[in-house]
Structure 1
Amino acid sequence: MTQTKTGSVRFENVVKKYGEVTALKKLDLCIDPGKLVTLLGPSGCGKSTTLRLIAGLEMATEGRIHIGGEDVTHLTATYRKVSMVFQSYALFPHMTVRENVAYGLTVKSIPKAEAAQKADAGLELVGLAGFGDRLPSELSGGQQQRVAVARAIVLEPEVLLLDEPLSNLDAKLRRHVREEIRQIQQSLGLTAVYVTHDQEEAMAVSDNIIVMNNAEIAQIGTPNDLYEAPSSAFIADFIGDANLVPCDVETCDGARATARVDGQKVLIPSNGMGKGAAQMVLRPHALSLQKPDQPGLKGQISYAAYLGKEMQYTVETPVGSLFVISAVRADPFVQGDSVSVSIVEDQARLVSI
């Protein structure tokens, strides 16, 4: 099975309102063909509304929507070349797996034999060759999700939409199925838009992530961009674990700045910031613990946990509680120990208050 065509997605000043409630503010975005882009954000941020607007399940109040270069703003879902994988799988319990996968093809009046052949090819692609005669109830949750993916891709959509597709699976199975979805998307060259509230899931599968907050885009970037160079305190706090501590930017020299944290000077990328009050983003791995007589922020360990390959600590300091992850050492710190917390300068980042 080969994907014959994949399309871009473009929003131009798209607004969605429900009465007096604005569910989506003016949204401009472009998703390139063949890319998997994730819409990520807290509940009520607008990510699911955006997905439904692409699908044609909702109509834009203002603005234009283009898929594959075609203006689809006023087209309903039936006339858009998209397929959706739902959170609930939405499989017909009385149909066999093959019949479920072939359903959309038969609705399009494709001959039954051809539809069955395409369905079997789709099942083989998702690792379920030979499962066609079973009922959905005879499959595990992960297998049912793969059936839902097969049903979507046999329609050869220009855009594949995935709405929280792994939320009903346990953690270990989620990792396995998300890897499969990513491999299928890349092998077919599909354009895919993926909605999730799980940051780790988004970072694992995405070419780019669109982080949304308060019905608008907060930042767009690769997983690495968002983690290493957050544009705001919200992004820093939302993507991965982060310590946000107050600081004063004392000097700026091009791309570098000097900031002071509780008397400690730190040379740090300026991130476009000027002098004055700011916040420093300190990832747990950007902090290291030393004996209390060493330079750094003075603190006391209030929590220590051994997790096999690493130690996790919570350290109480004058700038607040800091979450620190470090490699396991022969003589690990324990709860109640006094420590000095040093900052790995190249890994710290500045954001505005």
Structure 2
Amino acid sequence: MTKYTPGSVRFESVVKKFGEVTALKSLDLTIDPGKLVTLLGPSGCGKTTTLRLIAGLEMASAGKIHIGGEDVTHLTATYRKVSMVFQSYALFPHMTVRQNVAYGLTVKSMPKAEAAQKAEHGLELVGLAGFGDRLPSELSGGQQQRVAVARAIVLEPEVLLLDEPLSNLDAKLRRHVREEIRQIQQRLGLTAVYVTHDQEEAMAVSDRIIVMKNAEIAQEGSPSDLYEAPKSAFIADFIGDANLADCGVESVTNGIANVVLDDLNYKVRDGGLQKGPAKMVLRPHNLHLAAPDQAGIKGEVSYAAYLGKEIQYTVESAIGSLFVISGVTDKPFAQGDSVSIQFDADLARLVAA
């Protein structure tokens, strides 16, 4: 039986420069053993550079990197106990699935019979028992990605690295494969570092998410922490859909802010803010449309899209254009309708303006 010993990852003031360009500012992070942590952010934020530094495919310009308690700062990829699953799968088309999975083991001079046995076990772990004699071209995209995962985990890495592993799959298959990857990671207790730019994907698979912006960490925490308690307008807008409305904090008492929004008063958690301008975070699912004679912020529907289980609206109002998702589909509003926009202030959040 293959044994997996998950390792920790620790960066101490790690800097990476490419010539005059700083790809990663002084970065401190810790990834605990057995956890799946996602590096999330827009293109150019430094997430892939961070992954490559863990892998040993790039060397740090300054700082220290530890994997499993060992200082690996100056060790190349060959001498690090990590495996990577690439975006492109990188399977050899002329080799069978079994040979692809066993490839890394044979490169390390493991006897072919033992390597084949471990490869079969790896295929069992990813739900592909009996597929060993097929060629990659005879598999679906999702199956090929699972072969790539099997090839990585049979090397018994302390850390499994996944670089945009689902980007080549269609939306429905992505959802299915990400569930499988998460189940494999949890079942084996692997430490995994996952890179993606897809917020929903990150929230679905992660124990913890590290959101990066401009080569540094913008915020980190559990998916619920980032969604429910964003610390900036960038995080609020990046993690899930959000409406950001300019407002004013009139006073703060015992962690509750008295907020004025479109001449209406609301009691909202202060988010650590004091009196002054701020932005209120209003999630689309937390907004409700009512008849125009009811209380609320006045607006007009400029767009309505029926999607079966929900209707998505764009509503023009005094506080800006608002995106609203309503589960009430039996009495929809139409384009041009006047409405009142209501929300539960307990579900709103404040961030700095």
Give the structure-2-normalised TM-score: 0.99
Q: Does structure 1 conserve the Cα–Cα contact (< 8 Å) formed by 2:83 and 2:153?
A: yes
Residues 1:166 and 2:166 are matched in the alignment? yes
User: Where does residue 231 of structure 1 map in the other structure?
Assistant: 231
* Superimposed CA distance per residue, residues 3-54 of structure 1 (whole angstroms, 9 cap, x where no aligned partner): 4311000000000000100000000000000000000000000000000000
User: Where does residue 5 of structure 2 map in the other structure?
Assistant: 5
Residues 1:255 and 2:255 are matched in the alignment? yes
Q: Does structure 2 conserve the Cα–Cα contact (< 8 Å) formed by 1:15 and 1:26?
A: yes
Secondary structure of residue in 1 paired with 2:220: strand
User: Where does residue 99 of structure 1 map in the other structure?
Assistant: 99
Q: Does structure 1 conserve the Cα–Cα contact (< 8 Å) formed by 2:4 and 2:190?
A: no
User: Where does residue 327 of structure 1 map in the other structure?
Assistant: 327
Residues 1:196 and 2:189 are matched in the alignment? no
Measured after TM superposition, the shift of residue 343 of structure 1 is 2.1
What residue identity is the alignment partner of 1:198? D
Structure 2 unaligned regions, length at least 5 = none
Q: Does structure 2 conserve the Cα–Cα contact (< 8 Å) formed by 1:2 and 1:188?
A: no
User: Where does residue 305 of structure 2 map in the other structure?
Assistant: 305
What residue identity is the alignment partner of 1:260? V
Secondary structure of residue in 2 paired with 1:34: coil
What residue identity is the alignment partner of 2:278? A
Q: Does structure 1 conserve the Cα–Cα contact (< 8 Å) formed by 2:4 and 2:189?
A: no
* Superimposed CA distance per residue, residues 177-227 of structure 1 (whole angstroms, 9 cap, x where no aligned partner): 100000000000000000001000000000000000000000001110111
Identity of aligned residues (%): 79
What residue identity is the alignment partner of 1:40? L
The runs of 4+ residues in structure 1 deviating greater than 2 Å are: 1-4
- Counterparts of residues 154-303 of structure 1 (less than 5 Å): 154-303=154-303
- Counterparts of residues 90-169 of structure 1 (less than 5 Å): 90-169=90-169
What residue identity is the alignment partner of 2:92? F
What residue identity is the alignment partner of 1:118? K
What residue identity is the alignment partner of 1:95? M
What residue identity is the alignment partner of 2:72? V
Measured after TM superposition, the shift of residue 2 of structure 1 is 4.2
Cα distance in 1 for partners of 2:60, 2:253 equals 45
Secondary structure of residue in 1 paired with 2:201: helix
Cα distance in 2 for partners of 1:125, 1:331 equals 49
Q: Does structure 2 conserve the Cα–Cα contact (< 8 Å) formed by 1:31 and 1:37?
A: yes
Q: Does structure 1 conserve the Cα–Cα contact (< 8 Å) formed by 2:246 and 2:319?
A: yes
Cα distance in 2 for partners of 1:107, 1:336 equals 67
Q: How many residues align?
A: 353
Cα distance in 1 for partners of 2:153, 2:141 equals 19
Measured after TM superposition, the shift of residue 330 of structure 1 is 2.7
Measured after TM superposition, the shift of residue 331 of structure 1 is 1.7
What residue identity is the alignment partner of 1:25? K
User: Where does residue 42 of structure 2 map in the other structure?
Assistant: 42
Cα distance in 2 for partners of 1:334, 1:302 equals 8
Measured after TM superposition, the shift of residue 137 of structure 1 is 1.1
User: Where does residue 16 of structure 2 map in the other structure?
Assistant: 16
Secondary structure of residue in 2 paired with 1:95: coil
What residue identity is the alignment partner of 1:130? G
Measured after TM superposition, the shift of residue 286 of structure 1 is 1.8
Cα distance in 2 for partners of 1:40, 1:331 equals 38
Cα distance in 1 for partners of 2:346, 2:192 equals 34
Cα distance in 1 for partners of 2:69, 2:258 equals 47
Give the structure-1-normalised TM-score: 0.99
CA RMSD of aligned residues (A): 0.8
Q: Does structure 1 conserve the Cα–Cα contact (< 8 Å) formed by 2:309 and 2:329?
A: no
